[in-house]
Amino acid sequence: MNCAQQLVPNQTAVTKSRSLTFHPRPSLPGLITLALALMLARLPAQAKVMIAADGIARCLIVTQPGATPSERYAAEELAATLRQITGATFVTRELADNVPASAIVVGAGPLTPLLFPEANLAAFGGEEYLMRTQGGRLLLAGGRPRGTLYAVYRFLQDQLGVRYYAPWFTHYPNRSRLTLGTLNVRGKPAFEYRDPFWFPAFDGDWAARNGSTGATARLQAKHGGQVTYKGFVHTFYPLVPPATHFKTHPEWFSLVNGKRVGEGAQLCTTDPQLRDFIVEQVKIWLRETPGANIISVSQNDHAGACECPRCAAVDEREGSHAGSLLELVNYVAERIEPEFPNVLVDTLAYQYTRKAPKSLRPRHNVIIRLCSIECSFAQPLDDPTNELFARDIRDWHRLTDRLYIWDYTTDFSHYLLPFPNYYVLGSNVRFFHRNGVVGLFEQGAYQSFSNEMSELRAWVLAQLLWNPYQDDRKLVREFVEAYYGKPAARFILEYLGLISKAAKPYYVGIGHPDASPYLRFATLAQAERLWQQAEDAAQGNPEQLWRVRQARLPIGYMWLSQWAGLQREGRELSQPWPINPSRKAYAAQWLATVNEPGPLGWAPMNIMRESGQKPVDFAAQVASEPDTSLYAPPTRRAGASAPGDLPANEQQTGISVQDDRAIIFREPDFARPDPDPLASDGVAIRMVAGPNGARGAMEIHGAKLPQTVRPGRYQIYYVVRVELADGVRPDAPAFSARIFDHLAAKYVADRLVTVAETTPGYRSYLVGTIEVHPYSRLWMGHAHDDAVKAVWFDRAFLVPVK
Ligand SMILES: [Zn+2]
Instruction: Specify which residues 180 forms β-bridges with.
Output: 49
Separation between Cα atoms, residue 762 and residue 477, nearest integer Å = 53
Instruction: Give, as one character, the DSSP assignment of residue 637.
Output: P
Residue type, 2: N
What is residue 625's predicted lDDT score, i.e. its pLDDT?
A: 83
* Residue 348 Cα to ligand 1 middle (Å): 18
Count of other CB atoms within 10 angstroms of residue 682: 16
Binned at pLDDT 50, 70 and 90, residue 690 comes out as confident
* Residue 307 Cα to ligand 1 middle (Å): 6
Reference 630, options 560, 567, 570, 678; nearest CA is 567
* Residue 317 Cα to ligand 1 middle (Å): 14
Count of other CB atoms within 10 angstroms of residue 632: 10
776's CB contacts (< 8 A; 6+ apart) are 701, 702, 739, 740, 741, 742, 748, 770
Q: Model-level pTM?
A: 0.92
Lowest mean pLDDT among 13-22, 88-97, 565-574: 13-22
* Residue 276 Cα to ligand 1 middle (Å): 15
* Residue 251 Cα to ligand 1 middle (Å): 8
Binned at pLDDT 50, 70 and 90, residue 752 comes out as very high
What is residue 21's predicted lDDT score, i.e. its pLDDT?
A: 30
Residue type, 63: T
* Residue 354 Cα to ligand 1 middle (Å): 18
* Residue 324 Cα to ligand 1 middle (Å): 8
Characterize the bridge pairing of strands 193-197 and 437-443. parallel
Burial class of residue 99 in the structure, from the number of CB atoms within 10 Å of its CB (0-12 exposed, 13-18 middle, 19+ buried): middle
Lowest mean pLDDT among 21-25, 95-99, 518-522: 21-25
What is residue 87's predicted lDDT score, i.e. its pLDDT?
A: 97
* Residue 320 Cα to ligand 1 middle (Å): 14
* Residue 273 Cα to ligand 1 middle (Å): 12
* Residue 775 Cα to ligand 1 middle (Å): 36
Cβ(215)–Cβ(229) under 8 Å?
Answer: yes
720's CB contacts (< 8 A; 6+ apart) are 735, 753, 762, 763, 765, 780, 791, 792, 793, 794
* Residue 287 Cα to ligand 1 middle (Å): 29
* Residue 275 Cα to ligand 1 middle (Å): 11
Write the Ramachandran bin of 22: left for phi over 0, alpha for psi from -120 to 50, otherwise beta.
beta
- The 3-state DSSP class for residue 113 equals helix
Angle in degrees, 0-180, between the axes of helices 425-434 and 454-466, rounded to the nearest 10: 30
pLDDT by residue (tens digit) across 59-96? 999 999 999 999 999 999 999 999 999 999 999 999 99
Separation between Cα atoms, residue 671 and residue 685, nearest integer Å = 6
* Residue 305 Cα to ligand 1 middle (Å): 8
Characterize the bridge pairing of strands 60-63 and 92-94. parallel
CA angle (431 as vertex; 373, 295 as ends), nearest 5? 55
Cβ(163)–Cβ(218) under 8 Å?
Answer: no
* Residue 242 Cα to ligand 1 middle (Å): 15
Residue type, 629: S
Separation between Cα atoms, residue 763 and residue 397, nearest integer Å = 51
Cβ(88)–Cβ(71) under 8 Å?
Answer: no
Exposure b/e, 469-486, CB count within 10 A at least 16 = b: eeebeebbbbbbbbbbbe
What is residue 14's predicted lDDT score, i.e. its pLDDT?
A: 38
What is residue 726's predicted lDDT score, i.e. its pLDDT?
A: 84
For the residues 547-553, what does the mean pLDDT come to? 98
* Residue 373 Cα to ligand 1 middle (Å): 25
The CA–CA distances, whole Å, from 776 to 61, 518, 770 equal 62, 15, 9
Separation between Cα atoms, residue 407 and residue 385, nearest integer Å = 16
Lowest mean pLDDT among 37-41, 152-156, 626-630: 37-41
* Residue 343 Cα to ligand 1 middle (Å): 27
Binned at pLDDT 50, 70 and 90, residue 630 comes out as low
* Residue 270 Cα to ligand 1 middle (Å): 6
Rg (CA), the chain: 31
Direct distance between the N- and C-terminal alpha carbons of the chain, in angstroms, rounded to an integer: 82
Q: What percent of the chain has pLDDT over 90?
A: 90
Q: Where would I find the beta strands (DSSP E) of 536-693? A: 655-658, 663-665, 671-675, 683-687
On average, the pLDDT of the chain sits at: 93
What is residue 784's predicted lDDT score, i.e. its pLDDT?
A: 82
Separation between Cα atoms, residue 524 and residue 701, nearest integer Å = 19
* Residue 745 Cα to ligand 1 middle (Å): 26
What is residue 344's predicted lDDT score, i.e. its pLDDT?
A: 98
Separation between Cα atoms, residue 253 and residue 250, nearest integer Å = 6
* Residue 426 Cα to ligand 1 middle (Å): 41
What is residue 18's predicted lDDT score, i.e. its pLDDT?
A: 36
* Residue 266 Cα to ligand 1 middle (Å): 9
Q: What is the DSSP string of 393-448?
A: HHHHHHH-S-EEEEEE-S-SS-TTS--S-TTTHHHHHHHHHHTTEEEEEEE---SS
Cβ(316)–Cβ(252) under 8 Å?
Answer: no
| Torsion sign, CA atoms 418, 422, 427, 429 | positive
Question: Which H or E run includes 346?
Answer: strand 344-349
What is residue 23's predicted lDDT score, i.e. its pLDDT?
A: 30
* Residue 248 Cα to ligand 1 middle (Å): 16
Burial class of residue 410 in the structure, from the number of CB atoms within 10 Å of its CB (0-12 exposed, 13-18 middle, 19+ buried): buried
* Residue 271 Cα to ligand 1 middle (Å): 6
Is the pLDDT at 13 greater than 60? The verdict is no
What is residue 123's predicted lDDT score, i.e. its pLDDT?
A: 94
Binned at pLDDT 50, 70 and 90, residue 6 comes out as very low
* Residue 309 Cα to ligand 1 middle (Å): 7
* Residue 302 Cα to ligand 1 middle (Å): 16
- The 3-state DSSP class for residue 663 equals strand
Alpha helix (H) ranges present in 41-118? 69-86, 112-115
Separation between Cα atoms, residue 744 and residue 175, nearest integer Å = 57
pLDDT by residue (tens digit) across 22-49? 333 333 333 333 333 333 334 444 448 9
* Residue 256 Cα to ligand 1 middle (Å): 9
Separation between Cα atoms, residue 610 and residue 301, nearest integer Å = 15
Report residue 509 CA to chain centroid gap: 11
Binned at pLDDT 50, 70 and 90, residue 564 comes out as very high
What is residue 629's predicted lDDT score, i.e. its pLDDT?
A: 67
* Residue 392 Cα to ligand 1 middle (Å): 24
What is residue 285's predicted lDDT score, i.e. its pLDDT?
A: 98
